[in-house]
């Protein structure tokens, strides 16, 4: 494992080489001493993973191969990130979240607890690209929400607690709790009976 910056790595960390932790952000590139990463206990980092500086990760985190996690990201406990996913930083991911392979999470995104995000889902943060940083606003995903495979969620959209997004949907407006977004552009339906009560 290659380390940059000052890192705090918890007990029982498993690393499958090659892995890089504490990689400097652009603003840290020319500094010799800067905050690295903080990783909790019993985490698993698989080969090809790169974690930038100023990232905090909870206990029992694990990732697939070739995962990129950018700077200033907070990730909770018992959360997993699938192979070839990109987490762009400056946001947060809660506890017991399942992010499948090839998912893109942009900067300024907030993901709650117990969320499921299917493979190749794309979250976005720039409605009229390219704009400057002050204009960027990622989605907000509530606790227990489900995002299907290949779904696209536009900037600033809020997915309510326990709400769902169907596979392949393009979500342009908020999805309230108890609703499901389906289609292109997505329209709202009642949540299927099979998906109700996940919180229990």
Residue-range domain boundaries for the chain: 2-195
Each residue's pLDDT tens digit in the chain (200 positions)? 999 999 999 999 999 999 999 999 999 999 989 999 999 999 999 999 999 999 999 999 999 999 999 999 999 999 999 999 999 999 999 999 999 999 999 999 999 999 999 999 999 999 989 887 778 999 999 999 999 999 999 999 999 999 999 999 999 999 999 999 999 999 999 999 888 876 65
pLDDT at 199: 63
Q: Which fold has domain 2-195?
A: UDP N-Acetylglucosamine Acyltransferase; domain 1 (2.160.10)
Q: What are phi and psi of 194, to 5 degrees?
A: -65, -20
> Per residue, what are the HEC states of the chain?
CEECCEEEECCCCEECCCCEEEECCHHHCCCCCCEEEEECCCCEECCCCEEECCEEECCCCEECCCCEECCCEEECCCCEECCCCEECCCEEECCCCEECCCCEECCCCEECCCCEECCCCEECCCCCCCCCHHHCCCCEECCCCEECCCCEECCCCEECCCCEECCCCEECCCECCCEEEECCCCEEEECCHHHCCCCC
């Amino acid at each position: 494992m290659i380390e940059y910056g000052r890192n705090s790595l918890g007990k029982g960390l498993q690393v499958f080489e090659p892995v890089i932790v504490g990689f400097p952000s652009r603003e840290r590139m020319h500094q010799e001493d800067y905050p690295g990463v903080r990783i909790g206990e019993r985490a698993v980092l698989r080969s090809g993973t790169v974690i930038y500086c100023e990232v905090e990760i909870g206990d029992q985190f694990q990732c697939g191969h070739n995962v990129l996690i950018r700077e200033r990201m907070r990730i909770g406990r018992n959360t997993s990130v699938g192979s070839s996913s990109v987490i762009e930083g400056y946001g947060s991911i809660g506890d017991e979240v399942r992010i499948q392979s090839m998912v893109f999470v942009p900067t300024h995104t907030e993901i709650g607890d117990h969320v499921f995000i299917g493979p190749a889902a794309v979250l976005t943060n720039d409605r009229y690209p390219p704009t400057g940083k002050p204009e960027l606003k990622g989605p907000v995903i509530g606790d227990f929400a489900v995002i299907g495979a290949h779904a696209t969620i536009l900037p600033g959209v809020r997915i309510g607690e326990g709400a769902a997004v169907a596979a392949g949907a393009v979500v342009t407006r908020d999805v309230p709790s108890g609703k499901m977004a389906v289609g292109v552009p997505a329209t709202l339906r009642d949540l299927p009976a099979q998906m109700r009560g996940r919180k229990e």
